[in-house]
Amino acid sequence: MDKLQLHGLSFYAHHGLFEEEAKLGQRFVVDMTCWADLSKPSLSDAYEDTICYGKLAKTVEAVVTQQRFNLLERLGGAICEAVFAADHRIARISVTINKPGAPVPVHAGGFSVQINRERA
């Protein structure tokens, strides 16, 4: 199975458990890998045969910026659901959401959650 990867998609959004997170917002960074059969576009070199990574990025952006979730786990699940709906050729997804500004009492480079889903 072939992979299509998107790295470092960065969005400002309002996810989190705390009222301050909902009010102030913060940055979220998303990395995503989608598994699909890319043999047709690898032979044809035709745009219409491939999965548009721009469309995938816009799909992720819409979920991250237009909805609100308490948990990164639910945000990751919603991204997977939306990406599966966006292109039927995607068989498997791994999405990692990094929250670099998580409100925790220790200095950290960020916290992340990785969600892995396969099409039913």
Q: Is 23 a catalytic residue?
A: no
From first to last of its 120 residues, the chain has per-residue pLDDT tens of: 999 999 999 999 999 888 887 888 899 999 999 999 999 999 999 999 999 999 999 999 999 999 999 999 999 999 999 999 999 999 999 999 998 876 666 766 778 999 999 998
Domain residue extents for the chain: 2-102
Q: Which of 23, 40, 58, 99 is catalytic?
A: 99
∠ CA(37), CA(76), CA(72), 5° rounding?
A: 160
Q: How far is CA 29 from CA 50, 91, 99, in A?
A: 25, 23, 7
CB 97 within 8 A of CB 72: yes
pTM: 0.93
CB 81 within 8 A of CB 46: no
Residue 29 neighbours by CB under 8 Å, 6+ apart:
8, 9, 10, 11, 97, 98, 100, 110
Q: Which CATH architecture has domain 2-102?
A: 2-Layer Sandwich (3.30)
